[in-house]
């Protein structure tokens, strides 16, 4: 089902935060890459847990049974959202970064410096998919990096050269949170499969804008964050069946559980996890089909196409403003996230973000924890980038306001 400007206007009524104003200005949340707003259905779902079953799991009384039911329902919903074969593939955590550190600790214990084992990362990635793996250097593991070109695209010749029989894991972002670049996951999977390496995908910036099918991607592990696709702050880890069970994860002195609990430490945020389920149901409501998966794929495809069109209009419009430079690949291909980053010749990103914020235009400045990207592009000393992200509730009016405000600053 096509998702149109009319649908975007209708969706705005579902988000309480979008009803607020900043003085005389409407608030335009153009900061989706940093976190999306949540619909009322998600807020209500979280509140309902606190109101009806705010207890721990696996108890011998009805409210605890209800929490168990809701947790299992959330795992099943996330599995459907990602195209996983089973809810047993889905683990929850505080956030993607925490889950990835836990995963790197476990995988690191299987690597042998003396055998020349290597891990490969990229210069384009968020630090959450770099820092945990770079830390393995302390164990003597060699960590290599795929080069980032000035165009905002990875050097695929460099990638192919650095995946060798010594490579045991390639940790790659599906989409850049700083430049919107979508990487060639199929190529990464083919090359890693040839040498028997694991493939870990950071889909935090990809999952909010494209349908995800982990079965088709054939990822060993995939991470994402619900607060980027209209849910609460919860991290999600998909593990290929059996992949997590083979790892020596951090555990307390208790029975060693199987997937998906093997990497989950401590008591989880049950209310927020139930909110993730509500966010997925909300998204599915914008699609058509006879199954939840069909409705989700249809909704994410339609919303993604709308976001892409609006981001392209902003990209092409801001590129025409004198004194502005746009970074990253253009919109000549569908394989591009609706995220656009720029710099202004005469103003720092922080100064521009502050000026826009005073007009109710919410955008981010800096490196967005993609510090290596900003360093490679030579922008660290200039304050990084000014980033705009398009979400399902972004309107053409928001984009026009932003373009007009930037033009006035220039």
Strand pairing category for 25-26 and 21-22: antiparallel
Q: For the chain, report the end-to-end CA distance as a whole number of angstroms.
A: 39
Residues of the chain short of pLDDT 50, as ranges, are none
Q: What is the pLDDT of residues 269-304, one digit of tens each?
A: 999 999 999 999 999 999 999 999 999 999 999 999
Q: How high is the pLDDT of residue 1?
A: 82
pLDDT at 82: 99
**pTM score:** 0.97
Return the bridge partners of 90, or none. Answer: 238
| pLDDT tens digits, one per residue of 70-97 | 999 999 999 999 999 999 999 999 999 9
CB 343 within 8 A of CB 385: yes
Residue 255: per-residue pLDDT: 62
Both structure tokens of 318: 């801001």
pLDDT value, residue 334: 62
How far apart CA 3 and CA 15 sit, in angstroms, is 17
Angle ∠(260,264,268) on CA atoms, nearest 5: 115
Quote the DSSP letter at residue 165.
T
- How far is the C-alpha of 243 from the C-alpha of 364, rounded, in Å? 37
Domains located in the chain, CATH noted: 5-38+293-409 (3.90.1150.10), 44-283 (3.40.640.10)
HSE-CB for 382 with a 13 A CA cutoff: 18
Question: What is the pLDDT, as a whole number, of residue 168?
Answer: 98
Radius of gyration of the chain (CA): 21
DSSP 8-class letter at 126: -
Residues 6 or more apart whose Cβ sits within 8 Å of residue 5: 306, 395, 396
Token digits for 244?
A: 């997590």
């Amino acid at each position: 089902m096509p998702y149109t400007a009319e649908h975007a206007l209708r969706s705005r009524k579902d988000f309480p935060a979008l009803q607020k104003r900043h003085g005389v200005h409407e608030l335009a949340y153009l900061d989706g890459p940093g976190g999306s707003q949540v619909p009322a259905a998600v807020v209500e779902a979280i509140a309902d847990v606190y109101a009806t079953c705010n207890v721990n799991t696996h108890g011998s009384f009805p409210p605890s049974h209800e929490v168990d039911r809701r947790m299992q329902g959330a795992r099943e919903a996330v599995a459907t959202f990602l195209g996983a074969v089973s809810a047993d593939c889905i683990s929850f955590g505080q956030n993607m970064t925490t889950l990835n550190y836990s995963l790197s600790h476990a995988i690191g214990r299987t690597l042998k410096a003396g055998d020349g084992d290597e891990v490969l990362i990229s210069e384009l990635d968020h630090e959450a998919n770099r820092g945990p793996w770079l830390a393995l250097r302390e164990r003597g593991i060699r960590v290599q990096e795929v080069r980032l070109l000035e165009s905002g695209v990875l050097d695929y010749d460099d990638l192919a050269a650095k995946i060798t029989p010594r490579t045991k894991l390639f940790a790659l972002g599906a989409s850049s949170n700083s430049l919107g670049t979508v990487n060639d996951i199929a190529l990464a999977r083919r090359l890693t499969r040839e040498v028997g390496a694991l493939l870990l995908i950071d889909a935090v910036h990809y999952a909010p804008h494209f349908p995800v099918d982990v079965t088709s991607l054939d990822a060993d592990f995939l991470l994402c964050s619900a607060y980027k696709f209209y849910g609460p702050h919860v991290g999600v880890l998909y593990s290929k069946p059996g992949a997590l069970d083979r790892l020596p994860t951090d555990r307390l002195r208790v029975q060693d559980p199987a997937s998906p609990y093997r990497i989950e430490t401590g008591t989880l945020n049950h209310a927020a996890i139930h909110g993730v389920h509500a966010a997925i149901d909300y998204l599915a409501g914008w699609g058509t089909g006879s199954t939840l998966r069909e409705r989700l794929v249809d909704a994410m495809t339609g919303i993604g196409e709308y976001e892409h069109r609006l981001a392209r209009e902003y990209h092409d419009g801001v590129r025409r403003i004198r004194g502005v430079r746009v970074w990253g690949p253009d919109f000549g291909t569908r394989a591009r996230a609706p995220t656009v980053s720029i710099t202004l010749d005469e103003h720092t990103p922080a100064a521009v973000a502050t000026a826009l914020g005073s007009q109710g235009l919410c955008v981010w400045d800096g490196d967005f924890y993609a510090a290596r990207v900003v360093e490679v592009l030579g922008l660290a000393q200039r304050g990084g980038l000014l980033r705009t992200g398009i979400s399902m509730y972004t309107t053409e009016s928001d984009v026009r306001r932003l373009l007009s405000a930037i033009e006035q600053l220039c």
